[in-house]
Amino acid sequence: MPYGLAALCVVSLFGLKDTGIFINEHVQTTYSGNKVYFEVGEVANIIDESNDGYIVSKGKAKVTVPVEKVKLTESEITTYKVIKNTSIKDSEDQILRNLFLGEEVVLVDDLGENLVIKSDDNIKGQVAKANLELVGTETIKYDEPVNLDNNVQSIDIEQLEKEEEEIEKIAKQGANIEVDEYVPSTDNAKASEAIDLALEHMGTKYVYGATGDGGFDCSGLIYAVYKNKLGINLPRSSSEQSTYGTQVSRNNLEPGDLVFFNTAGGGVSHVGIYMGGDNFVHASSGQGKVVISSLNEDYYDARYNNATRVL
C-alpha cells in the first residue's frame, strides 16, 4: 500500500466512489422541497463529505446524510504523488499548506486542470493536476468497525451480525403463523378495512423503497394501505409515521393502530399494523415478505418503541 494511504483510509475514507449501507432509516428534504427516502439496508453511494456528514447520491438527488446512519463497506482510493513544488489551496486561492516532493495525496474530486485532494494530515483543497502524478487506484473493503478521527461513531459489526441472526431466528419462529387464526375484533370499520387490505398482501416480496410496485418495505406497506387506499395523509418513512396521529400506550392498543420498533439502535426503523391479540402484520426484511408476527416475540418485545392511532 503506498506511503500514507493506511492513515488516509482511517482519517478520510473518501474517494470518488465510496460505498456504504444504511443502518438507520433516513429522510432528507432537497432544496426543491422533494423528500428522498433511505431504508435500512439500502446502499449508500457516497460522493463526498461535508461538516454535516456524507454527501450521498440517489437518482438525480444529492443529499447530506449524518455519518451515524451509514456503515462504510467499500472505498475506491486514488492516490497521486507530488512531482513539482506546489501547495494545497482553498476555493479562494489561499494557500493552506505547502506540499513536498514525493508526498502522496488522495483524490477527492477531479475539476479538470485542478484536483481536489486530501493530504495525510487531513488537509483538503485544490492542487494543479500538472504538479501531480497518478500512483494508482485501490479498492478498500471494510470488514471491521471503522473509526474516524472527526468524532464519527464506530460501527459494531459483530453486534450488527448478531442482530441479523436474531432477526432470522425470530422470522423462522413466526413463519408458521396462519392468517386465518387472526380475525380483527373491532367495531371500527376503517380499522378492519386497513387490516384486510394489509392481509391481501400476505407473502408479497419485501423490496426496499417500494410501496406496492413489485413489493413493499415496512413503511411502504403502511403508506400503501393508509394513504393510497384509505386517504389518510401519512408521511412515507416509519420514523415520520411514528409521530403522526395520537400516541397510545401499549396497554391500550386497538386494531388498526400502527406499532413501531427500534430495530437498528438509532430510533424508529420498523412499523406494522396492530391486528389485536398482540399480533401485527408487517413487511419483514428478515423473512423477505409481508407476514404476521407477535408483539410478545422476544425480538419485537425488546425493540417495541411506540404506537399511534391514525383512524
C-alpha cell at 162: 448478531
Residues 10 and 120 sit within 8 Å (Cβ to Cβ): no
Domain-located, residue 152: no
Half-sphere exposure of 285 (CA within 13 A, CB side): 22
The pLDDT tens digits for 91-119 are 888 999 898 888 888 888 888 899 988 88
Both 110 and 194 in a single domain?
no
Q: What band does 19 get if pLDDT is binned at 50, 70 and 90?
A: confident
Of the chain, the percentage scoring pLDDT greater than 70 comes to: 79
Q: Within this chain, do residues 242 and 123 fall inside the same structural domain, yes or no?
A: no
pLDDT tens for 146-190 read: 333 333 333 444 544 555 555 555 444 444 444 333 344 445 788
* Residue that finishes a domain, picked among 141, 165, 182: 141
The answer to the question of residue 66 being in a domain is yes
Distance, CA of 299 to CA of 263 (rounded, Å) = 9
For residue 142, the model assigns a pLDDT of 60
Rounded Cα distance, 220 and 222, in Å = 5
pLDDT for the residue 166: 56
Asked if 172 and 293 count as a contact pair (C-beta separation under 8 A), the reply is no
- Is residue 150 situated within a structural domain? no
pLDDT for the residue numbered 220: 92
Element (H, E) at 282: strand 279-284
pLDDT reading at 279 higher than 70:
yes
Q: Residues with catalytic annotation?
A: 218, 270, 282
* Angle, CA of 192, 227 and 191, to the nearest 5°: 15
Tell me what the pLDDT averaged over the chain comes to: 79
Residues 110, 196: one domain?
no
235-260 tens-digit pLDDT: 999 989 999 999 999 999 999 999 99
Residue 28 has pLDDT above 90, yes or no: no
pLDDT for 288 beyond 70 = yes
Whether 162 and 298 map to the same domain: the answer is yes
Point out the domain boundary residue: 141, 175, 206. 141
Q: Is 244 found in the same domain as 190?
A: yes
pLDDT-derived band at 8, boundaries 50, 70, 90: very low
Task: Determine the structural domain holding residue 280 and report its residue range.
Answer: 157-309
- Give yes or no: residues 208 and 242 share one domain: yes
Residue 293 has pLDDT above 90, yes or no: yes
Confidence band (pLDDT; 50, 70, 90) for 53?
confident
What is the mean pLDDT of the segment spanning 54-79? 82
User: Does residue 156 contact residue 68 with C-beta atoms inside 8 Å?
Assistant: no
CATH of the domain at 165: 3.90.1720.10
**212-235 confidence digits (pLDDT tens):** 878 999 999 999 999 999 999 899
Report how many domains make up the chain: 2
CATH number at residue 132: 2.30.30.40
Helix (H) or strand (E) holding 307: strand 304-309
